[in-house]
Amino acid sequence: MTTPPALLIAGHGTRDEGGAEALRTLVRMLGERHPDVPVAGGFFGVPASPLPLDDAIDGLVERGATRLAVIPLLPAPTGPVPDALPSALERAAERHPGLGYTCDAELGPHPKVLDVLERRLDEALAAGARRPEDRARTTVLLVGRGAADPYANAEVARAARLLWEGRGFAGVETAFVSQAAPDVPAGLDRCRALAAAAPPDRPRRIVVLPYFFFPGGLLERLHLQAEGWAAAHPGTEVFGAGAIGPAAEVAEAVMERYRATVADAPLPGGAACGCRAAEDARGTDGTAPRTAAVAADAGER
């Protein structure tokens, strides 16, 4: 019986222990549900992470893995970063001769991820989200990390549109914590302008929804920005939602992507195969195909 490739979940760097524990929880969940698949996870992109990707790879190799299917657990491309995922995988192949790997595109606004986002909205509003009229007076501000790459930022706008479709919210606007416009205060201004026509007896409210898988410094910065804006606009209800987190739906989406990755590109057991890529990492319509390598993280778009 052929041993299946190991599943490696790659998150974009965090120094936050809470974010690391969330990824550990997701790894444990997948391991319990799929004991036949070796699984580990870690973060790339920043030094001094409490859960480094290099350690996760080394641990899988120690457990006998010779092939890796890498799933980047990212809601959108990171844009150029100093230590990109392809570089981390190349280093791993140098440390472990004979290690094969293939890498899928970032998870993005997978339907199951959108379901979790919707649940985070409902949790933020508590009982006030249950009726259609409650949703109809709610505007959502979906906040991404922000990147220098406009295509990465466009993926956040795509997620906002998908979240808005058919869910009954008044609107879903976008903002970014850093590197891109609009920033969080400007995004809240836009949401407030949309709510200006609400009847006085049915005041509209805004939910600030992080488009992050894990808690960390960016999430804390987002909360501070939203709280500062809310303090300056006491007439507007502002609710803060939690990060996506290690939800069961996320585990299902990761495993779905793992199976598709293994089925589409059987992994060699010899030299590292590199991140899977189309000849053009971006399609003619400007969108990244699912099978594109995350070499885009290195600024190769």
> What digits encode the pLDDT tens for the residues 220-229?
999 999 999 9
Radius of gyration (C-alpha) of the chain in whole angstroms: 20
pLDDT classification of 128: cutoffs 50, 70, 90: low
User: Percent of the chain scored above 90 by pLDDT?
Assistant: 60
pLDDT at 235 over 70: yes
Give the per-residue pLDDT at 118.
94
In the block, which residue shows the tokens 């350690």? 55
The average pLDDT across 275-286 equals 35
User: If pLDDT is split at 50, 70 and 90, which confidence band does 294 have?
Assistant: very low
**In which band, very low, low, confident or very high, does the pLDDT at 202 lie, cut at 50, 70 and 90?**
low
Task: Give Cα separations from 27 to 24, 38, 107, 206, 272 (angstroms).
Answer: 5, 10, 16, 33, 24
Tell me the per-residue pLDDT of 68-90, one tens digit each, with 9 for 90 and over. Answer: 999 999 988 877 766 789 999 99
Least confident of 109-118, 163-172, 225-234, 284-293: 284-293
| pLDDT over 90 at 300, yes or no | no
In this prediction, what percent of the chain has a pLDDT beyond 70? 82
> Is the model's pLDDT at 280 over the cut of 60?
no
pLDDT band at 293 (very low <50, low <70, confident <90, very high): very low
At 130 the pLDDT is: 66
H or E element, residue 93: helix 85-95
Average pLDDT estimate for 89-110: 93
Full-model pTM = 0.85
Tally DSSP H helices, then E strands, for the chain: 9, 8
Kindly indicate the confidence band of residue 135, based on its pLDDT and cuts at 50, 70 and 90. confident
> What is the pLDDT, as a whole number, of residue 100?
94
Among residues 213, 272, 292, which one has the least CA distance to residue 245?
Answer: 213
Q: In sequence order, what are the residues at sequence separation of 6 or more whose Cβ sits closer than 8 angstroms to the Cβ of residue 35?
A: none
Neighbours of 116 (CB within 10 A): 21
Handedness of CA 104, 106, 107, 108 (dihedral sign): negative
State yes or no: pLDDT of 248 exceeds 60: yes
Q: What is the mean pLDDT of residues 147-160?
A: 92
CB-facing half-sphere around the CA of 59: CA atoms within 13 A: 14
